[in-house]
Amino acid sequence: MNSITSLRKRRKTGRMTRIVLLISFIILIGRLLFVLPGAFQHHQDKKTNAGEPITIQPINKE
């Protein structure tokens, strides 16, 4: 009888672990999809700004 109760507890614990891991994975994928467009835009901006030469204007002190 003792082995039956411990077997039931193991099933519940294993099931809960799977549920928690699944929810964590879904949150991780959601965060990745949320951040991806901004990261891509930042990469494109960086790429376009890298091609432009930087000009420095001298300051005239009078």
57 or 8, greater pLDDT: 57
pTM of the prediction?
Answer: 0.56
Q: Stretch 18-23: mean pLDDT, rounded?
A: 97
1 or 49, greater pLDDT: 49
Nearest by Cα to 21 from 10, 29, 31, 9: 29
Residue 5 predicted with pLDDT over 70: no
From residue 16, alpha-carbon distances to 5, 21, 25, 61 in Å are 17, 9, 14, 72
Length of the chain: 62
Distance CA 1, CA 7 (A): 10
6-10, 13-17, 49-53: which has the minimum mean pLDDT? 6-10
